[in-house]
A = this chain, B = another copy of it.
Amino acid sequence: MPALNALTTPYLLLDPNKMLHNSERLQRHLDGLGVMLRPHVKTAKSVDVMRYCFADAKGPITVSTLKEADYFAEHGYTDITYAVGIDPDKLPRVARLNRSGITVRVLLDSLVQAQAVIDFVARDGVAIPVLLEIDCDGERAGLRPDDPQLLEIACLLDDKQLFAGILLHAGGSYHCPDRAAKEAAAEHERATAVAVKERLALAGVLCPIVSVGSTPTAHFARDLTGITEVRAGVYLFQDLVMAGLHVCELEDIALSVVATVIGVRPEQGWIITDAGWMALSRDRGTAEQELDQGYGVVCDMAGTPYPDLIVSRTSQEHGTLALRKGSSAQLPPLTIGSKVRILPNHACATASQFSGYLVPLEQDLVFWPRVNGW
């Protein structure tokens, strides 16, 4: 195995054992609740990651872009849900995939989109199954459960045999620090989904798919009766935001950015590395949490955090390490050329700054590419 110290920094290091532990933990939890997992590939964007974690290399998966859908389809995946509201101009790309024999479901929350899909399918001839997006917490997209259009859209699609079910995302759970609030968010997500399903059933519309998910609610759900599948993405890598939400421990975080010390300024209390925001991303997701982790937590190359050392500032290719305000710790004796590992605030954002992962596997260090872009 090439020494990790010999590679050009910054680079993304992925710990496959931690990732597998994260994968198996959620799988066990959902197996216990009797519901299928549909992992979201938007975090890793890597077929190698998915094959490492899941026996079935055909899906089910969730994607956030049609580029992910194209890429996973090329690699043999056949059961794909595209979980971003559909832009009608993207329907030809969806149809091309469905024509090749795989299933890509689209998501929508308006009559205009539903009519666009119906009209497109009527012209094109290949079915595009549709999920209706339901808003359970006012955070983003979706129809409110009591919206009168909900029945209208579902009936319209069902009439054309394009209605596949409903999808919810409890994005508000990212703001729930305590366990009871996350459990409540999960139960609210479930209960909202089931209420909508029952409302549709009364109108004679069946929901083959009742899909819920977010990494926090997936982990804190205690009952998923009535749900057919759960989506979660960032949990495979975990990150500081998830640790701050007590979804995982710091030592579960499988992803880190390896950086080199390129400056030491003891008079300022700074150590400067070559991992700036271009490597770490501008994500400051922990800024609103109880413990603000700056742009990341600094660890030694074995993955042990230095006491109170965070990335306090970044510019494009510079990251300034400093102790947390009020810390009584000492700056560690890092010198020019020292390597460190930085745990990211938000794994989805940090990973997106790179073309792929370096993964220590048995005696080797392998590169797993990502499919970035649209």
Contact = CB atoms under 8 A, between A and B. Distances in A.
B373 A354 contact: yes
A352 B317 CA distance: 12
A264 interface: yes
Contacts of A272: 85, 140-141
A80 to B, nearest CB: 15
Number of copies: 2
A268 interface: yes
A274 interface: yes
A43 to B, nearest CB: 9
B281 A337 contact: no
B171 A315 contact: yes
A8 interface: yes
Contacts of A141: 262-263, 265, 272, 318
A272 B135 CA distance: 13
Q: Which of A9, A85, A112, A372 has its CB near the most chain B CB atoms (within 10 A)?
A: A85
Contacts of A349: 277, 282
A42 B316 contact: yes
Interface in A40-72: 42, 64-66
Given A11-B374, A84-B274, A110 B140 contact: no
Interface string A341-354: 00000101100111
A87 interface: yes
Interface stretch (A88-96, A196-204, A323-331, A360-368): A88-96
Interface in A83-140: 84-90, 93, 109-110, 112-113, 116, 138, 140
Given A372-B355, A373-B354, A84 B320 contact: no
A304 interface: no
Interface string A1-36: 000011011110000000000000000000000000
Nearest to A264: B110
B90 A336 contact: no
Interface of A: 5-6, 8-11, 42, 64-66, 84-90, 93, 109-110, 112-113, 116, 138, 140-141, 171, 260, 262-265, 268, 272, 274, 277-279, 281-284, 315-318, 320, 335-337, 346, 348-349, 352-355, 372-374
